Structure 1
């Protein structure tokens, strides 16, 4: 990237549908983008198909589950970011996760452990005076434990709790930390699942909320999902136990 005067955003897990829309919208706002993912070919194709300005986007290899590589990945960033988004995610259906720990462990590594590994490295870099904001993408599945998705939900709940503490840790440096608690999105991760169509959000809509996030810690896009969020938060356990 040649323009070092504009602000930069580092998107970790940049191959998701929401992350790709974030790339487009951050570029439109004048940011430089570091798009990091294991699937470099997909990002390169996306960049070419959308005729993105190559001086404003850098595509880098990042594996959320390869914890030992995270420090080197961060050290090699020529420009330390103003904004960091953790968008990496992995989902295994609950019954499959119960029967095979491999799927459970992959969700843990991608959704939580990998996030903590890289975000800790970024957070403790007191020499990065650019850092203004860290954003994590979590899920309504992590609000309360429910029998249909509690394995996946537990990884998202842990991530949300981590971000809450990180917000407190970074407050003295005036670095904002935000968690997006997301419902159903029309995206690759949800392909093949039987989901309520009326509750589906489009990736570009979610990306717009992320790129224009305010100062709140918890943001739940879409008024329907806000209602569901508060119902889950406030319902007594005996009612939550009756949910799917």
Structure 2
């Protein structure tokens, strides 16, 4: 008898996460979509004629750390795959002037991720867990003057996932990080970004759903080139970037 696998998606109302939900559903998974915006997810799934019998929508706030243990304990099924896609962004200028903006980015991208993913990772009774995937950003590859606060939170998240990958290796649990460039989404709406570098949420979602065994996944051939350049660019040249 085949048992349906379960995917837990945290931050499920992001544009990428919603597309990933659809892809997982089409593959026959049971999806637990967790977000503060439960009504928005329901509306989106109804509009896309998603098979709701395979979908459970739960309230989850990445920054409400004291609720995470109860949330995880109350899941209707222990997950085979966990995707962390929660995101929040203010401009660097805003973050420098307004601590609340900086603090929320830290909590959403890093502290919240650790709070819930540590619970997932340390649940040794969940023999079904096979993969954890985090949605990070190329902004975390090198510190740049235009977005170093947002980028630093994504960098910290990526490094956490790198260590978690090594920690979970003996249990044969794969950890991936999606190091994404510019995504056409509600978070980037209104930003002056080059059209030729924008990627669709559905494209990023496919990278998540089809993740292999490697750690870093950089979607898009243009962004693969940019990633390599950024990784090896001398500091004096990085300082000239916007």
Q: Same fold (TM over 0.5)?
A: yes
**Structure 1 residue 199 and structure 2 residue 197: aligned?**
yes
Q: Residues 20-59 of structure 1: matches in 2 within 5 Å? A: 20-59=18-57
The CA RMSD over aligned residues, in Å, is 0.8
Matched residue, 2:166: 168
Q: Residues 1-244 of structure 1: matches in 2 within 5 Å? A: 5-244=3-242
SS in 1 for 2:145: coil
Which of 70-79 and 43-52 deviates more? 43-52
Q: CA deviation at 1:52?
A: 2.1
Give per-residue Cα distances to partners, 1:33-76, cap 9 Å, x unaligned.
Answer: 00000001101111211222222000000000000000000000
CA distance in 2 between partners of 1:71 and 1:37 (Å): 15
Q: CA deviation at 1:123?
A: 0.2
CA distance in 2 between partners of 1:156 and 1:53 (Å): 33
CA distance in 1 between partners of 2:75 and 2:66 (Å): 16
CA distance in 2 between partners of 1:42 and 1:5 (Å): 29
SS in 2 for 1:21: helix
TM-score, structure 2 length as denominator?
A: 0.98
Give per-residue Cα distances to partners, 1:144-183, cap 9 Å, x unaligned.
Answer: 0000000000000000000000001000000000000000
SS in 1 for 2:178: strand
SS in 2 for 1:55: helix
CA distance in 2 between partners of 1:116 and 1:220 (Å): 22
CA distance in 1 between partners of 2:136 and 2:207 (Å): 14
Q: CA deviation at 1:237?
A: 0.8
TM-score, structure 1 length as denominator?
A: 0.97
Structure 1 unmatched ranges of 5 or more: none
Spell out structure 1 runs of 4+ moving beyond 3 A.
Answer: none
Give per-residue Cα distances to partners, 1:187-233, cap 9 Å, x unaligned.
Answer: 01101100011000001111111101111100000000000001000
